Amino acid sequence: MNFDAPTPIEPKSRWTSQKRRAAGRCVLGLVQMGGSVASLLLIWLHGLDRVSLTVVLATCLATTVSVLVFGENRSRDRPTGNDSNPPRVRE
């Protein structure tokens, strides 16, 4: 046994930032799905009333928060052209 070997550093918390983000995305996704089903049922059964509009607005709020917090800027990942054939540089 080598007692002089450095020990691996254990994280202070089991909840890393990636796990917290994943849990937040999961909760907001469940709220969005549940809200959409509930609002559709309320509108179908009772018509457009105050409760159904409140559920629709809550679902919209959860979607907006999810996009703002967890949305990524996809334009930087998008290729700007045909990357397999880069343009030739004239000399």
- pLDDT above 70 for 39: yes
- Predicted TM-score (pTM) of the model is 0.56
Give one DSSP letter per residue of 6-63, joined into a string: PPPPPPS-SS-HHHHHHHHHHHHHHHHHHHHHHHHHHHHHH-S-HHHHHHHHHHHHHH
CB 66 within 8 A of CB 29: yes
pLDDT mean over 18-46: 89
pLDDT at 15: 72
pLDDT at 71: 80
| Residue 33 vs residues 40, 48, 77: alpha-carbon distances, Å | 11, 19, 28
Indicate the pLDDT class of residue 19, thresholds 50, 70 and 90.
Answer: confident
Report domain extents, the chain. 19-66
| Mean pLDDT, the chain, integer | 77
pLDDT at 4: 67
pLDDT at 13: 64
**C-alpha span between 25 and 66 (Å, rounded):** 7
pLDDT in tens, 48-64: 889 888 888 999 999 89
**Six token digits for residue 3:** 């007692």
